């Protein structure tokens, strides 16, 4: 149980080191990067939430948001090796799924478009990059290796290897 949590934290730190050219040592990343801290704490909150300790998990999530500026619902599913760069203002909703080795920048929202208790948040495949300020709204699916431009508003599904730009976002086939 704890071995998995530690392994994910190591992968998160390694991913931060790989994708942040300004990253100092792995030890500094572990203790000072808000994204790594938020993910580490989210994994504990998620485990508690799934065991039925929902109020405790929500309280811990609230404390994480106060500390890091990153709001991740304890029920959200986050893969391995995820990198949240800067992270301030990032929101990941209750039924959202973030695949393995995704990169999320500050101001990203994985939000809902309904108040009903249904599957209402985005699902990201693996190796997806979501640049600063992008909003992904509703129960949509973004395929593996996709890139979402800064400030794009995505409201429709996108297949693997998509490049999404604009408001509302559309696939840009001119980019390679």
Percent of the chain with pLDDT over 90: 71
Which residues, in sequence order, are bridge partners of residue 129? 103, 147
> What is the structure's pLDDT at 168?
82
> What is the structure's pLDDT at 172?
76
* Rounded-to-integer distance, Cα 91 and Cα 149, Å: 17
Structural domains of the chain, with CATH: 2-171 (2.160.10.10)
Flag residues of the chain having pLDDT under 50: 1, 4-5
pTM: 0.89
Exposure string over 54-79, b if 16+ CB within 10 A, otherwise e: eeebbebbeebbeebebbbbbbbebb
pLDDT, tens digit, for every residue of 42-79?
A: 999 999 999 999 999 999 999 999 999 999 999 999 99
* Rounded-to-integer distance, Cα 112 and Cα 73, Å: 12
> What is the structure's pLDDT at 7?
57
Q: For the CA atoms of 51, 56, 62, 68, what is the dihedral angle to 10 degrees?
A: -70
């Amino acid at each position: 149980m704890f071995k998995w949590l530690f392994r994910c934290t190591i992968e998160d730190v390694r991913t931060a080191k790989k994708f942040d050219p300004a990253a100092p040592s792995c030890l500094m990343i572990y203790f000072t990067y808000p994204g790594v801290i938020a993910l580490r704490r989210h994994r504990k909150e998620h485990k508690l939430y799934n065991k039925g300790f929902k109020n405790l998990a929500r309280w811990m999530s609230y404390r994480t948001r106060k500390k890091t500026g990153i709001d991740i619902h304890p029920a959200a599913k986050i893969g391995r090796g995820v990198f949240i760069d800067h992270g301030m203002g990032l929101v990941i909703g209750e039924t959202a799924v973030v695949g393995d080795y995704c990169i999320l920048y500050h101001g990203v929202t994985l939000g809902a478009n309904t108040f009903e208790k249904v599957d209402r948040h985005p699902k990201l495949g693996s190796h997806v990059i979501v640049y600063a300020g992008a909003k992904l709204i509703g129960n949509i699916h973004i395929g593996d290796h996709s890139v979402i431009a800064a400030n794009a508003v995505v409201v429709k599904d996108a297949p693997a290897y998509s490049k999404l730009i604009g408001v509302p976002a559309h696939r840009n086939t001119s980019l390679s």
